[in-house]
Structure formats: structure tokens, C-alpha cells
Amino acid sequence: MSEFVGADFFELDHLFSDEERAIRDSARDWVDRELIDSRLIEEHHRAGTFPKQLAKQLGEMGYLGVTIPEEYGCAGLNYTGYGLIMQELERGDSGLRSFCSVQSSLCMFPIYTFGTEEQKRRYLPKMAAGEVIGCFGLSEPDHGSDPSGMETKATPDGDGWILNGTKRWITNGSIADIAIVWARTPDGIRGFIVPTDSPGFSAPLIPGKFSLRASVTSELIMEDVKLGPEALLPETTGLKSALMCLSSARFGIAWGVVGSMMAVFDEALRYLQSRTQFDKPLASFQLMQRKLVHMHTELTKAQLVSYHLGRLKDAGKAKHYHISFGKRNNCWAAREVAKLGRELLGANGVCDEYQVMRHLMNIESVYTYEGTHEIHTLVLGEHLTGFPAYRG
């Protein structure tokens, strides 16, 4: 067992139910043993590969699609519980958390929300078990922050569809069995379940990432991919359906990055307490304490935000702008904390024997995907003023 004990300055712990705490503690032990103590994450981060064997283990632990009801092989957990699991997974690595966010919020959630009963029965139990892996294709090479301009097209063909287009930056793309692809149709933007072994579909890996190295990021190339009528998610109605999935994933990210901050802060504090320079522990220097206090303050504030967001969501009161607040603030804070944590470890901070730099590099993606910091600023700006400013 690692010595990691979490961070709980404001005694939030007793606000969680016994069940929520048990879920968190179990996830914490699992991440310690399977990912950190085993050094599995280091190995895959170096190699730039996703530890695919974890997919089934995550399924066994019950961490995929946790909020979906039991009848589809899931746990029917509340959102705070989902958040706590994301927090613990991201304490291990943002890539692992990304895998789960995509599988749960971006693939299982749309099938559950917009799919037919048959689609739900066909996919959800296997996805919950980690036997079928999903990916979510919204972004395109030329359409990132503004997906409304997407070029991918689904053309009606008999009772089915023909799909053409390219998606880019797609997490899990090259390891996925199915892709949830968003495409333009005569009735606006709609979502499709695309089996990745369909003729005309390919998913080459995007090489050379400095960030989220233990997560697979790919391009999806679709050339005259023929789909049957059963591929359409019938309840999707425009881009807002895709944005609903993102909302659920962003909620998990707001929680997840708290885990990244906990890992960095814990490592930095231990390091400063044990390392001596100028005949004194580094922790005893004022300049060091200032950085630590800043990190700790941002971590603690982010915890309060995610806790409150969780309760709000469980009460059915979380609006998209609340979630933008959580994603924006917490990712910013995590970036700040990771940057300072790296500094505090000196040369050791650039080496993968320690975690700080891995978290620092990971956060760059987390800060960017699911709506960049600027995009969430604009969401909140619009909420405050009534003026949408996305187009300047």
C-alpha cells in the first residue's frame, strides 16, 4: 500500500456517505497497486501506449458507465460517486481517467440517452465489462472549438447511411471496437454507432504526443462507410446532443484533475520535507512554503468546487455553466499546481521516477480538450452578460 493519504484540509470527508468513501478508498487502493506501485504507468507512459489489459479490470471493478442503471450491467451510482472514482483514477494518470471518461460519458452515456432499447442491450453490458471499447468522434482537423462547422457527412442510402469524413484527436480511436461519430445529415447533426471494423473505416494513431502518452489518440478516417439503419442513435437532435455528452464528461474532468493535484502536492510536500539544501530541509524555506501554500490553496478550492458540483448534479440542478465553471477552474488550478510541483522537485522533477512532470504534461491536454479554457470562459461570459462572444 502506498503512503498516499489524500488531502482533506476542510474536512470534506465526513460529508461523503460511508458508501462514497468506501468506493473512493477501494479505487485508491486499486490505483496504488495496479498502476503506481507496479510501475505500470511509467512503463506505458515511456512507451506511449495504453495499458489495454486494464480495460477489463476497470470493467471488473465496475468503473465503466457507473451512473447507468443496473439493468444494463452498470452500477446506477450517483454523480458524486462517479466523480470520486474519476478523482482516484486521475491521481494515477490522466490517460487512465480519459479512457474511462470516453468510455462512460462519451460512449455509454449517448447510447443510454439517445439509443434504442436494442442498442442499449447490445452494447452497454459489454462496454461496462470493458469487453467493447468505445471512442467519440466530434473534433475534426479543421473544426475543434467550433464543431458546428463539421464536414463529416452521413448521406441517406436506402434505409441506411453512407459516412464520409475525418475526425481528429480521438481518444481510444485505434483501440476502439465502436466509434460514436457525429455527422451532418439532411436533418442536422446526428450521432451514429460505427463498428470500427466497417469497410472504409480506419483509425491511425497520432504519434509523437508529449501529453497523455498513456492514452491512445487517433484520427478516424471514413471513406464511404456503409451503415445500416441500426447505426443511427435515433434520439440525437443536433449538436446539442453531443454537447450533453461533453457536459457529463466535463463533470468527471472537474473531479479528475483534483486527483492529479493531490498526487503532485503529496509528492512535492514529501520531497521538500526529506531533501536538505543549505543544511536545512527545503520545506523550511519561505519561498518553498509560499509555493506549497499556493498549490494547497488551489487544490483545496478545487475540491470544494467539485464536491459542490457533485451534490448539485445529484440534485438535478447542475447547469452547463456550472460544469464549465468546474472544468475551467479546476483544470487551470491543476496546471498551476503541476507547474509548481515540478519546480519544487528540481532536477528530479523532470524525470519519470517522480510523477510531477507526467502530470504536468498530461494537464496540457486536459486543459485543451472538452472545451479549452477560453471556450469555457466564453460560456461563462455569455451566462453573465447574455452576449455570446464566440464569434468575437
Partner 1 sequence: MRIFVCVKAVPDTAARIKVDKDGSHIDPSGVKFVLGPYDARAVAKAISLKEAAGDGAEVIAVSAGGTKGERDAKKRLKDALALGADRGILIPDDGCENRDPLEVAKALAAAIKAEGEFSLVLLGRTAVDDQAMSVGPMLGALLGAPCVTDAVGLEIAGGKATVTRAAEGRQQTVELTLPAVVSGQRDLAEEKYPKLKEILKAGKKPIADFAYAWTDGGYTVTALEPPPEPVAGKIVGEGPDAVPELFNLLQNEAKKLSF
Ligand X SMILES: Cc1cc2nc3c(=O)[nH]c(=O)nc-3n(C[C@H](O)[C@H](O)[C@H](O)COP(=O)(O)OP(=O)(O)OC[C@H]3O[C@@H](n4cnc5c(N)ncnc54)[C@H](O)[C@@H]3O)c2cc1C
Q: Site residues (CB under 8 A) for partner 1? A: 1, 3, 5, 18-19, 22-23, 25-26, 29-30, 33, 60-63, 66, 70, 75-77, 85
Contact between 324 and ligand X by CB under 6 A: the answer reads no
Please give the residue whose beta carbon sits closest to ligand X in the complex: 144
Contact between 136 and ligand X by CB under 6 A: the answer reads yes
Distances (CA, A) of 51 to 147, 187, 211: 30, 39, 16
Contact between 131 and ligand X by CB under 6 A: the answer reads no
> Which one among 137, 165, 326, 349 touches ligand X, defined by CB under 6 A?
137
Shortest reach from residue 147's CB to ligand X, in Å: 7
Q: Which of 11, 140, 370, 382 is catalytic?
A: 370
CA dist 26 and 7 (Å) reads 16
Output the nine-digit C-alpha cell for 3. 503512503
Contact partner at residue 1 from ligand X, partner 1, none, CB < 5 to 8 Å by partner kind: partner 1
CA dist 61 and 30 (Å) reads 9
C-alpha distance across the termini of the chain, in Å: 52
Shortest reach from residue 241's CB to ligand X, in Å: 14
**Residue 230 or 364 with smaller CB distance to ligand X:** 364
Q: Which of 89, 106, 101, 118 is nearest to 23 (CA)?
A: 89
Contact between 299 and ligand X by CB under 6 A: the answer reads no
C-alpha of 171 from chain center: 10
**Residue 144 or 195 with smaller CB distance to ligand X:** 144
Contact between 241 and ligand X by CB under 6 A: the answer reads no
**Residue 29 or 382 with smaller CB distance to partner 1:** 29
> Which one among 139, 196, 260, 300 touches ligand X, defined by CB under 6 A?
139
C-alpha of 358 from chain center: 16
370 among known catalytic residues: yes
Shortest reach from residue 102's CB to ligand X, in Å: 5
Helix runs in the chain, H state only: 18-31, 40-47, 54-61, 79-92, 94-101, 109-114, 117-128, 239-274, 286-314, 320-344, 356-368, 373-385
**Residue 91 or 328 with smaller CB distance to ligand X:** 328
Q: Residue 218: phi, psi to the nearest 5?
A: -140, 170
Contact between 138 and ligand X by CB under 6 A: the answer reads yes
Shortest reach from residue 378's CB to ligand X, in Å: 6
Burial code of 328-367, b = ≥16 C-beta within 10 A, e = fewer?
bbbbbbbbbbbbbbbebbeeebeeeebbbbbbbbbbbbbb
Task: Provide the mask over 202-221, with x wherever binding to ligand X is found by CB under 6 A and - wherever it is not.
Answer: ----------x----x----
Output the nine-digit C-alpha cell for 133. 471499447
Task: Provide the mask over 161-200, with x wherever binding to ligand X is found by CB under 6 A and - wherever it is not.
Answer: --------xxx-----------------------------
Contact between 390 and ligand X by CB under 6 A: the answer reads yes
- Burial zone of 384 (CB within 10 Å; 0-12 exposed, 13-18 middle, 19+ buried): exposed
Listed ranges 11-19, 107-115, 197-205, 362-370: which one lies at the site for ligand X (CB under 6 A): 362-370
Q: Residue 80: phi, psi to the nearest 5?
A: -65, -40
CA dist 331 and 337 (Å) reads 10
Contact between 307 and ligand X by CB under 6 A: the answer reads no
CA dist 205 and 213 (Å) reads 12
Contact partner at residue 187 from ligand X, partner 1, none, CB < 5 to 8 Å by partner kind: none
- Chain residues that interact with ligand X, rule: CB under 6 A: 102, 136-139, 144-145, 169-171, 212, 217, 365, 368-370, 372, 374-375, 390
Active site residues: 370
